[in-house]
Amino acid sequence: MYEDKTLVCKDCGKEFVFTAGEQEFYAEKGFENEPQRCKECRDARKGAGRGGRQLFTAVCASCGGEAKVPFQPKEDRPVYCSECFAKMKEEG
């Protein structure tokens, strides 16, 4: 029923494929307009709306290494690096 279509991004001018699967998804959701931007430009616009994410540096309470976190660390709460946090999550 649907066939892949080649569209042109209105931001960067590159061609991109609007796949049959994407067209079916759009139809299921009731979207009437085709996408006007390629995936890279859509992602860039989404990221720009957030204004970027500020990361804070802290010392990991487990290994003592550097931990980058998206929140302001507090002195009374331990902060863990990604690896130590993942290990703690696995252990339950």
pLDDT above 70 for 36: yes
Q: pTM of the full predicted structure?
A: 0.51
60 φ, ψ (degrees, to nearest 5) = -65, 130
Q: What's the full length of the chain, in residues?
A: 92
Q: Are residues 25 and 44 in the same domain?
A: yes
In percent, the amount of the chain with pLDDT more than 90 equals: 71
Across 7-21, 41-55, 62-76, least confident range? 41-55
Across 5-19, 40-54, 74-88, least confident range? 40-54
Question: How many domains does one find in the chain?
Answer: 2
d(Cα 55, Cα 47) in Å, to the nearest integer?
Answer: 15
Mean pLDDT to the nearest integer, 31-48: 88
Q: Are residues 10 and 39 in the same domain?
A: yes
67 strand-pairing partners: 58
Q: Are residues 40 and 67 in the same domain?
A: no
Q: Are residues 9 and 46 in the same domain?
A: yes
